[in-house]
Chains A and B, each alone.
Chain A
């Protein structure tokens, strides 16, 4: 049995009197894809912010197994350690690509930023790796010097993925990476994510309101409502045979094409 990569214990967060997350605990194994599903306002994104330490939980903790094999509470890391972890071993793909990319910087610069942050000072090498990654996310090599403002929505998301994966992280958090894209672009992006996740053995926590995305990508699903986890289990099990009344409603709400 492998040891968990990420461990959340009793996470809670309120905005004033409103509960965003209540007592959430789970383990994530290396290479495992966990989908967090639920409708808008169910606390999915807040949970992701808690995991990424962008928000501090009121109670509970998030622990991560560092590369040396030691499980450490993220709150106990120094600011420098935390930031180093976020830009090497973690990735964060955001719903809004303008928040995850530097829009004024070329695609190559966006991909190369993490490498330069790690101290790579060889232009030719940085550029070669940027080209390699653009190729892997199916962005043509001649677009390397274009800023993402000239990219379509789907390309921006793919660029975000390249920018995050260039340091070969072990954990990637994704916040609704496919929403706002039309269905054919969505399908291509999902294919790409699925391929990269398998190739690199990434552990992923993906937040989505789209059950099809969860079905396609994830091994396990966690269903949230009103800040609480109402059901959790293997993806097929939860989606095909939901036990909780709310999950049943959610599954039956999906329109068949």
Chain B
């Protein structure tokens, strides 16, 4: 049963023991069968703090095979601490190939972004989720939120959006924007910017969500309808940016604001570092690109 990397390795393939992986896979199968439904699972202690992606790491460990190519992003970037640590963790415990190129990856673990490059059927996107319950801030009782999900009573979710409009004049929720999956369950898409919500709809890739501290797994199977909640007179809209990426000139992508010096100079650049690098390699140059 145990599948060691080699006789000298103290770790099972991808760190978790096979029994645990099987337990997680069972939860994943149920999650795929009931899109958007939060499946409880016996989350394990991982060698990293909660909030660093313990849920995503467990899901990745459970689905990873020897021939997989892993990409890990954190806020769109491949080179931040969280992304680098998790990539190295799996390179070490599973010995799988890793990449920063979206097109080359078969498994992409992500924190807070969906890559700009369109995903394919051959890919699986694994989200790290801090708080899986979209109703949590309005209804603190877990027994009650489960009841609301079971009966499909989602009026409360609109109360939150109502509050947004009454306070700000428009729906001011910009991340973790609630979605309805396959016409049934309302789901928290994890703290991705609402800019990425349309990419979840009818996506060819399998999308898996793992919340380690809250012990929940949920999923959106390929080609599933994902609809962002809204009002008839305040329809869902994504963020728009006034200028293209300063480095690669890309438009219609999600941008990060960078402060350049202490006189307030700033530039906007692609949040998806791989997308930006590939465009620059192909010869695209933005206004600030060197």
Contact = CB atoms under 8 A, between A and B. Distances in A.
Contacts of A114: 155
Nearest to A147: B163
B233 A113 contact: no
A79 interface: yes
Contacts of B147: 79
B138 A102 contact: yes
A227 interface: no
Interface in B226-241: 230-234
B33 interface: no
A91 interface: no
B172 interface: no
B288 interface: no
Contact of B231 (A83, A105, A121, A145): A121
B67 interface: no
A112 B247 CA distance: 47
Chain A binding surface SS class: helix
A70 B147 CA distance: 27
A69 interface: no
A242 B257 CA distance: 78
Contacts of A113: 155-156, 159
B28 to A, nearest CB: 29
B4 to A, nearest CB: 50
Given A80-B151, A83-B151, A145-B167, A102 B159 contact: yes
A66 interface: no
A127 B151 CA distance: 26
B159 A112 contact: yes
| A109, A113, A119, A127: residue with the most chain B Cβ atoms closer than 10 Å | A109
Interface string A97-108: 000001011101
A108 B166 contact: yes
Given A102-B138, A121-B232, A123-B234, A116 B158 contact: yes
Interface residues of B, number: 18
B182 interface: no
B163 A109 contact: yes
Contacts of B138: 102, 104-105
Contacts of A126: 162
Nearest to A122: B232
Contact of B159 (A80, A83, A109, A124): A109
A118 B155 contact: yes
Interface string A139-176: 00000110000000000000000000000000000000
A117 interface: yes
Contacts of A108: 162, 166
Given A102-B138, A105-B138, A117 B155 contact: yes
B119 to A, nearest CB: 30
B165 interface: yes
A123 B167 contact: no
B153 A123 contact: no
Nearest to A104: B138
Given A117-B155, A118-B155, A105 B163 contact: yes
9 closest residue pairs by CB, A with B:
A117-B155, A116-B158, A116-B155, A123-B231, A122-B232, A80-B151, A145-B166, A124-B233, A109-B159
Given A112-B162, A121-B231, 7 more contacts: A80-B151, A108-B162, A119-B155, A121-B232, A123-B233, A123-B234, A126-B162
20 contacts: A83-B151, A102-B138, A106-B167, A108-B166, A109-B162, A112-B159, A112-B162, A113-B155, A113-B156, A113-B159, A116-B156, A116-B158, A116-B159, A117-B155, A121-B231, A122-B231, A123-B165, A123-B232, A144-B166, A145-B167
